[in-house]
């Protein structure tokens, strides 16, 4: 892919400012410096389609896609045009706008298993509203979350279950229980140990493979037999597995479901949807039960975000978006398995997941997950013009993008192989990346030190092994 990218001078200058002004240096933990190697773009200046440019004018084929929020591609013309036209009329009013009805209608046509919908700005608001609604509908306090799924909300009911639970009272932590995906016995065990106390089970429909033996249907039946609601978190699966969500792909009707991310192709909009009997508890017309403060946010109904969602759903309805995502993801997954095998790394670098939402595992010489090798892989793919914290494709990832990505990863894995044979520290510049959910920062897990800026603009000493890496 041409010369190796080494210049991050402007990114490094901005890093110094960012860490003085913003806790963590970013407003999203997954985008923080501790999630990337030292030699990486700190700030993105622009994006178009499947490509992004950083503040040093380095170009990358991108596979994070805004933490999976961009399904069509950056600055997708149909969506941008709809947003611009709506913005010319204003974006926030004292009373509802017509676009709120239009967006709700479009959503319920696209996700036919839902009967009502309410919009908000982020996924955490939607899932937390679902939890509150389930507690109100059942009169119960306990919530069961799938322990195999990594994230549900920034709110206390979930964050209290992670190592980053500082500030969450024990009384709140004790209200959330865990079960395992695909394991009905683990759900039965919770219901047996907490009879009549669990308000809902919440889980993602899938992390990759389709559920086996009608697992979702059987779990839903188990929930209803025990008076609990069945909630699907479709933040990731929605608009990737199927335009109507994984619930439509798997023919399952949840009591409540939560959408976001690709719903607005990167614009801030999310949704809580579900059966009328539950959703109406947050309305102003029902009189048979106490009112539920469901969702009410100043910016929840910004008109331009809803215009973005409508335009996005139009593209999904009229163009083969899902088919393209699956096709390109399958190409990538198949080719990378072959590339890893050529390097003898099939037991150390593995790509898995749904074709529209691939992830990869980086394993050390002992076959154990390694942040050190993840950082090395990121460093080497970034240097070859690929920004891939995951391998999530969009509608604008072309065949040429896929081929260039395969070539870049081939080059990166050649370095990976040498690092396995020698010492990874010889090839990795600086500290490794860290998991987001960790209890403490420390010498090996703190935010990266502010770089010194040398004349070459790299800002970090470059070891001999790094200089010797092949161009691809």
Banded pLDDT at 470 (limits 50, 70, 90): very low
What digits encode the pLDDT tens for the residues 149-202?
988 998 889 999 988 889 999 999 999 999 999 999 999 999 999 999 999 999
What digits encode the pLDDT tens for the residues 86-110?
999 999 998 889 999 999 999 999 9
How many residues belong to the chain?
472
Please give the radius of gyration of the chain, using alpha carbons only, rounded to the nearest integer: 23
Cα dist. 26→16, 37, 296, 390 in Å?
A: 12, 15, 26, 19
Least trusted range by pLDDT, from 52-56, 196-200, 248-252, 444-448: 444-448
Least trusted range by pLDDT, from 40-44, 124-128, 142-146, 178-182: 40-44
Confidence check: pLDDT of 455 > 60? no
Angstrom distance (rounded) from CA 31 to CA 385: 18
Contacts of 136 (CB under 8 A, 6+ apart): 281, 289, 290, 292
Mean pLDDT rounded to a whole number for the chain: 89
CA dihedral 277, 281, 284, 286 (to 10 degrees): 60
Residue pair 84/291 in contact by the 8 Å Cβ criterion? no
Angstrom distance (rounded) from CA 472 to CA 451: 28
Contacts of 43 (CB under 8 A, 6+ apart): 10, 11, 14, 54, 55
The stretch 53-72 carries a mean pLDDT of 95
Phi, psi of 380 (to 5 degrees): -75, -30
Q: What stretches of 125-239 adopt beta strand conformation (E)?
A: 142-146, 176-179, 198-203, 229-233
Question: Which is it for strands 59-62 and 386-387: parallel, antiparallel or unpaired?
Answer: parallel
The stretch 284-306 carries a mean pLDDT of 87
Predicted confidence at residue 433, as pLDDT, reads 67
Confidence check: pLDDT of 453 > 60? no
Cα dist. 194→67, 141, 188, 223 in Å?
A: 36, 11, 10, 13
Angstrom distance (rounded) from CA 340 to CA 345: 5
Predicted confidence at residue 293, as pLDDT, reads 85
Angstrom distance (rounded) from CA 232 to CA 341: 37
Structure tokens at 335: 């080719």
Predicted confidence at residue 286, as pLDDT, reads 80
Contacts of 152 (CB under 8 A, 6+ apart): 124, 127, 145, 158, 202, 233
Residue pair 274/255 in contact by the 8 Å Cβ criterion? yes
Angstrom distance (rounded) from CA 258 to CA 240: 14
Banded pLDDT at 436 (limits 50, 70, 90): low
For residue 427, the 8-state DSSP code is T
Of residues 1 and 33, the one with the higher pLDDT is 33
The stretch 16-25 carries a mean pLDDT of 80
Predicted confidence at residue 21, as pLDDT, reads 84
Q: Which domains does the chain have, with CATH numbers?
A: 9-74+321-467 (3.90.1150.10), 77-318 (3.40.640.10)
């Amino acid at each position: 892919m041409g010369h190796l990218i080494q210049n991050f001078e402007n990114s490094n200058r901005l890093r110094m400012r960012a860490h003085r002004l913003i806790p963590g240096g970013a407003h999203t933990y997954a985008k923080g410096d501790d999630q990337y190697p030292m030699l990486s773009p700190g700030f993105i200046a622009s994006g178009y389609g499947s490509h992004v440019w950083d503040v040093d004018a380095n170009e990358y084929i991108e596979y994070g896609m805004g933490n999976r929020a961009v399904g069509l591609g950056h600055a997708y013309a149909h969506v941008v045009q709809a947003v611009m036209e709506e913005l010319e009329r204003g974006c926030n009013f004292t009373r509802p706008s017509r676009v709120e009805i239009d967006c709700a209608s479009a959503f319920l046509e696209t996700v036919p298993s839902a009967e009502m919908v309410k919009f908000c700005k982020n996924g955490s608001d939607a899932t937390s509203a679902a939890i509150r609604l389930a507690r109100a509908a059942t009169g119960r306090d306990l919530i069961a979350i799938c322990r195999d799924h990594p994230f549900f909300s920034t709110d206390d009911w979930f964050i209290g279950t992670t190592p980053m639970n500082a500030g969450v009272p024990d009384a709140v932590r004790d209200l959330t229980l865990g079960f395992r995906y695909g394991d009905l016995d683990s759900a039965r065990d919770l219901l047996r140990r907490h009879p009549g106390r669990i308000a809902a089970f919440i889980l993602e429909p899938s992390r990759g493979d389709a559920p086996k033996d009608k697992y979702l249907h059987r779990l839903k039946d188990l929930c209803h037999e025990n008076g609990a609601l069945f909630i699907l978190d479709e933040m990731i699966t929605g608009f990737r597995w199927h335009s109507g969500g994984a619930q439509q792909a798997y023919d399952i009707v949840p009591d409540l479901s939560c959408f976001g991310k690709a719903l607005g192709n990167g614009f801030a909009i999310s949704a809580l949807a579900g059966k009328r009997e539950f959703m109406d508890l947050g309305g102003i017309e029902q009189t048979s039960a106490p009112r539920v403060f469901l969702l009410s946010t100043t910016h929840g109904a910004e008109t331009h975000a809803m215009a973005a969602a409508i335009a996005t759903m139009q593209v999904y309805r009229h163009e083969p978006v899902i088919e393209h995502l699956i096709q390109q993801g399958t190409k990538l997954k198949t080719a990378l398995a072959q590339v890893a095998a050529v390097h003898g790394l099939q037991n150390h670098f593995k790509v898995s997941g749904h074709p529209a939402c691939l992830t990869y595992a980086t394993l050390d010489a002992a076959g154990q997950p390694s942040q050190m090798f993840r950082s090395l892989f990121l460093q080497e793919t970034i240097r070859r013009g690929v920004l891939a914290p995951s391998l999530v494709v969009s509608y604008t990832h072309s065949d040429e993008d896929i081929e260039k990505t395969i070539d870049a990863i081939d080059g990166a894995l050649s370095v990976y192989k040498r690092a396995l044979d020698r010492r990874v520290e010889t090839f990795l510049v600086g500290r490794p990346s860290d998991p987001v959910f960790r209890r403490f920062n420390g010498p090996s897990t703190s935010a990266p030190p502010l770089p010194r800026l040398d004349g070459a603009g790299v800002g970090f000493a470059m070891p001999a092994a790094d200089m010797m890496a092949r161009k691809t």
